[in-house]
């Protein structure tokens, strides 16, 4: 049974984009195929919560080979999307004192609970657990049509 969602996904206004892809990647160094976030729709500093989304497109690089005839968004890209959300939150929380690149140092407690297919919007929610000068940690949950399809804890370290 999935854990309780950090926020009620049905209450997120996905049309109210507070940071578009250009804004997101003015902070994050990822480019081209590895730009996994299409928009940020919530950033709640007081509760250490962030929400963003990725629209899976039929023309994405992974569709052709994963899996022909039944394309499924790779789990490793769900993890990457979650990691970029945690990095975005951490950079915003430490904006005055940090810049640079945050790399993975750990991925824990990952569970894939469903699939993401072309045409789906993957809504990713992050709850920051730690945000220290050398590392950060965020619990993440991913949803498609209100159903949890992913969960995991991402730890990042400043490089």
- Name the residues annotated as catalytic: 66
Chain-centroid distance, C-alpha 144: 13
Contact between residue 112 and residue 150 where contact means Cβ atoms under 8 Å apart: yes
| DSSP states of 12-61 | S-TT--SEEHHHHHHHS---GGG----EEEEEEGGGTEEEEEEE--TTST
Residue 135, preceding peptide bond in cis (omega within 30° of 0): no
């Amino acid at each position: 049974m999935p854990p309780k969602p950090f926020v009620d996904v049905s209450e997120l206004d996905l049309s109210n984009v507070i940071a578009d892809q250009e804004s997101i990647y003015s902070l994050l160094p990822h480019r081209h195929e590895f730009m996994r976030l299409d928009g940020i729709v919530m950033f709640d500093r007081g509760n250490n919560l962030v929400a963003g989304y990725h629209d899976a497109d039929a023309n994405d690089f992974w569709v052709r080979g994963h899996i022909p005839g039944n394309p499924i968004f790779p789990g490793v890209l769900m993890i990457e999307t979650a990691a970029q959300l945690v990095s975005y939150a951490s950079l915003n929380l430490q904006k005055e004192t940090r810049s640079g690149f945050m790399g993975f140092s750990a991925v824990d407690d990952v569970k894939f609970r469903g699939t993401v297919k072309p045409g789906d919007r993957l809504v990713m929610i992050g709850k920051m657990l730690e945000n220290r000068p050398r590392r950060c940690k965020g619990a993440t949950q991913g949803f498609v049509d209100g159903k949890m399809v992913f969960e995991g804890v991402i730890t990042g370290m400043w490089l």
